[in-house]
Amino acid sequence: MVAYVLHRHPALLLDPALGEGAFFRAAKRYAECGGFTLTMHGRDIDPEILIHARESGLSDADLQHVELKDFVLEPPREQFPAIVANPPYIRHHRLTTEQKQLLRHYAQAATGRHIDGRAGLHVYFLIRALQSLSPHGRLAYIVSADICEGVFARQLWGWICEKFRLDGVITFSTGAAPFPDVDTNALIFLLANEPPVPEFDWVVCHTRETAPLLAVLEQQVPPGEAVTVHRRTVTEALSTGLSRPPQAEAVSRFTLGDFASVMRGIVTGDNDFFFLTSAQRDKLGIPAGLFVRAVGRTRDVSGDHLTLDDMDRLDENGRPTYLLSLNGTAFDALPMSVQQYLREGERRGIPEKVLIQTRKPWYRMEHRQVPPFLFAYLGRRSSRFIRNQAGVVPLTCLMCIYPHLTDSAFIERLWRVISHPETVANLRLVGKSYGGDAIKVEPRALERLPLPDALVVESGLHQYLQQKQGALDFR
């Protein structure tokens, strides 16, 4: 990263998230080897960072231009020819309402686009870093892959690639991950304050050694086993996703959304209170008819089929499988045992919880029809689709997949397609990638999941879609 931004021997370098000073140390070595003078500027908000930076080997002279200020909301006045950053990864859940409002207003003013409020602080850091680049300056930015996979990604990268030159994206195979103990998929973006160009290098590192990557990027040696390079167009990459491998053409004419809809599982607001075992249910004396059978954890499903026997085994092992599912029945009309339990919940402050306080009455539970198929949001297992033969509803660990038709033949054909390894492999095209090959897929993204043409035609699913969209040619 430092080699990229200092390639032209600039006089100034900025690290807007200093940390323990790893980039400063690398920059000192690079400048000494290159025989040029470099002044290093830095930002951080934690005063103790300076102590750690000194302990890492940096001197007071190295740190004299480090300021303890918020980089995004209190930016430096000058611009820099070289910026290198490992920004703080603070997701939107951990930002205050006031911080979110300030950041969203800043992003709107900076880009002229609406950046979705689910963007984390690292997104706003990138915008500010690009604004802080002087003409012809370079930025190297290491960050989680969700910066180009989240709901805000299209607007963000549309702006970036219209205003700046994307030189490269560096990705890492599992064995070469730069943060092997962190459950995230890191990428490095190489950007320059230059007119945009139509192509860039998309690089895969298969080793954690630095030398092979530098040699390839500086065109000293061709790509080999240690480093793979794909020359990609920006248009294709933005369409496919900057964190995903290149696609020469459309993967399929069909998506899951052509045949089914997807909905998240039930949010209870307090699983400990609403989600019980049969032993707890019986001890409380609450009638069984006021519960629905539910599955509450992905790891409670060991295979790609879930049966009632599986549910009974879970219950025998002390796992909750009974969801208290009260409708809007008036409190006084409920059985006395239920009234007593709800009063206990009130004493525990359950009605004041964030996800519960808007319900009327507070104990009313979300409702879901039993879905024929379930899907795990996040996981590393190859089998992510689950045949719901138990007739249960899922909590938020799983999603509900509802086929457009209830015809048994249609459902069987759809299962044959979605459970196929080729379909499962396509999840990487629509999901967010994390460390250790984990993938997270949201409901709307899952509806965009490509279903392989050959599987759809072979199963006969295309006939159902042809009835709905007769103008399409499925030969």
In angstroms, rounded to a whole number, what is the distance separating the alpha carbons of residues 413 and 464? 10
Radius of gyration of the chain (CA): 27
User: Superfamily for 2-240?
Assistant: Vaccinia Virus protein VP39 (3.40.50.150)
Residue 195: helix, strand or coil by DSSP? coil
440: tokens are 């997270």
Chain region(s) in the chain for CATH 3.90.220: 250-267+370-475
Burial of 469 (0-12, 13-18, 19+ CB in 10 A): exposed
In angstroms, rounded to a whole number, what is the distance separating the alpha carbons of residues 41 and 14? 5
In angstroms, rounded to a whole number, what is the distance separating the alpha carbons of residues 191 and 194? 9
Residue 147: helix, strand or coil by DSSP? helix
In angstroms, rounded to a whole number, what is the distance separating the alpha carbons of residues 82 and 74? 19
Q: What pTM value is reported for the model?
A: 0.73
Chain region(s) in the chain for CATH 3.40.50.150: 2-240
pLDDT tens, 245-279? 887 666 688 999 999 999 999 999 999 999 999 99
Q: pLDDT tens string for the chain (475 positions)?
A: 999 999 999 999 999 999 999 999 999 999 999 999 999 999 999 989 899 999 999 999 999 999 999 999 999 999 999 999 999 887 777 778 888 889 889 999 999 988 887 888 999 999 999 999 999 999 999 998 888 887 788 899 999 999 999 999 999 887 788 877 666 788 999 999 999 999 999 999 998 888 888 888 777 778 888 899 999 999 999 988 898 888 766 668 899 999 999 999 999 999 999 999 999 999 999 999 999 999 999 889 988 999 999 999 999 999 999 999 998 789 999 999 999 999 999 999 999 998 899 999 999 999 999 999 999 876 555 458 999 999 999 999 899 999 999 999 999 999 999 999 999 988 888 877 665 566 778 888 899 899 999 999 999 999 987 554 433 333 3
| Kind of pairing between the strands at 322-324 and 373-376 | unpaired
pLDDT (0 to 100) of residue 429: 82
In angstroms, rounded to a whole number, what is the distance separating the alpha carbons of residues 451 and 462? 11
Cα pseudo-dihedral 33, 39, 42, 48, rounded to 10: 80
What's the CATH number for 250-267+370-475?
3.90.220
In angstroms, rounded to a whole number, what is the distance separating the alpha carbons of residues 271 and 415? 30
pLDDT (0 to 100) of residue 224: 81
In angstroms, rounded to a whole number, what is the distance separating the alpha carbons of residues 363 and 327? 8
**Number of other CB atoms surrounding residue 109 within 10 Å:** 8
pLDDT (0 to 100) of residue 437: 61
pLDDT (0 to 100) of residue 117: 77
In angstroms, rounded to a whole number, what is the distance separating the alpha carbons of residues 475 and 472? 9
Q: What is the DSSP letter of 36?
A: -
